[in-house]
Amino acid sequence: MSKARERIARRRERQMATQRRSRSTVQAQDTQQTKLQATVQQVLSALAVIPRNRILLLIPAVVVVVGVVAALAFLKPKEEVAAGNGYWLNRNWSYVEQEESDVQALVEQLQAHHIDQLYVYFSSLKGDGTWAGDPTLRDRYSEVEPNVRAFIGQLQALYPDAQIYAWIEVVGETPTGYRLSDPQLHLTVAEFAGRTLRSLSIEGVLLDVKPIFTDNDDLPVLLRAVRSEIGMEHIMAVVAAPDLTPTDADINVAAFIAPDTMWSNEYKQRIALQADQLIVTAYNSYLTEPVDYIEWVTHQVRSYTEMTSNIEGGAHVIVSIPHYADNEPAHNSVIESIAAALDGISRAIPDMTETEVELLQGVAIYSEDDMTASDWQAYDQRWPRE
């Protein structure tokens, strides 16, 4: 069986499991309703054989029974919601020892908004080929690894239904030059990913390799090395660059960035065949008008879902949406907001095919600050999941 077909089979198994859980919930509700109806029928049948002169004496008891039945009708099993939405948890969460109460509050917040894909920051590959840690210490991953493992353990205990990924960052350009073509780098990243998944019971890895704004032949080689190490049983999510300046999309783009700074359609499909999830970063557009940004996000959704729908066994698409401070000129937080990003995504969906909609797994909030009540309100209003 080809790797693509193995991924299809694995995804179908997960989809069937979700459907079975949903059917079980519905069946449980139907069974409960049937029992309630039977109870009511039994009460009515019993009343039918009681002499009329004694019925008045039983009215208080009947009222109690009917009240209990009515109350039970509202006690339905909690319906499972297949979320598929994500949240990036940066080093402020993973590198610092966390109080269980704080993690519990985080989990409750994520559950309330149906977010179950958690991308937890592990490390970044430094220029010397070692893994980074806390820069205020000796900047070694070994120093923070105990806290990372403890945080993963807390998440698993408090949110067992979540799918957790090790967010691994690889910067292709360092002060010493370009390095993504280095076979030793491929080996180092693959071994770190494999060692992480073998030692922790988590879903997979998120490879954040950057910057790659145009087709790059070294990224597929790196992905093959990681896949060979982690196997088909783990999920490999890959950060995908947005189409910064597409010339055929009839949208406004940043004038000072070279035209067609983007992945070609063929390259998107190439990466989609290797990955299980494509995390499309729908921010850092360099745009200065809200409408332009919304239309730009709409294009990203259509572009990636259309390309992946044209191949068998392609990755699911998750659109990463911004919640972080200004980083001018690339990111203006007023222009590139959660609300605007979700407006752009929602705008794309009506024109998508059924297959494309199925490939759009959800969104992932890239947040460097705590979400406020108004942030969550904007999210829930534009991206309802119930």
In the chain, the percentage of residues whose pLDDT exceeds 70 is 78
The pTM for the full model equals 0.81
pLDDT value for 76: 35
What kind of fold does domain 83-382 have according to CATH? TIM Barrel (3.20.20)
| Local mean pLDDT, 10-residue blocks, the chain (386 residues) | 47 44 41 53 57 52 44 38 82 97 97 96 96 94 97 98 98 93 98 96 97 96 98 97 94 94 97 98 97 98 97 96 95 97 97 96 95 95 81
Burial of 139 (0-12, 13-18, 19+ CB in 10 A): middle
- Residue 162 token pair: 């979540």
pLDDT value for 16: 43
- Residue 197 token pair: 């998944």
pLDDT value for 384: 80
Give me the residue spans of the domains in the chain.
1-80, 83-382
Burial of 19 (0-12, 13-18, 19+ CB in 10 A): exposed
pLDDT value for 6: 53
Phi, psi of 117 (to 5 degrees): -105, 110
The answer for residues whose C-beta is within 8 angstroms of residue 328's C-beta and 6 or more apart is none
pLDDT value for 21: 40
The answer for residues whose C-beta is within 8 angstroms of residue 382's C-beta and 6 or more apart is 338, 339, 342, 343, 346
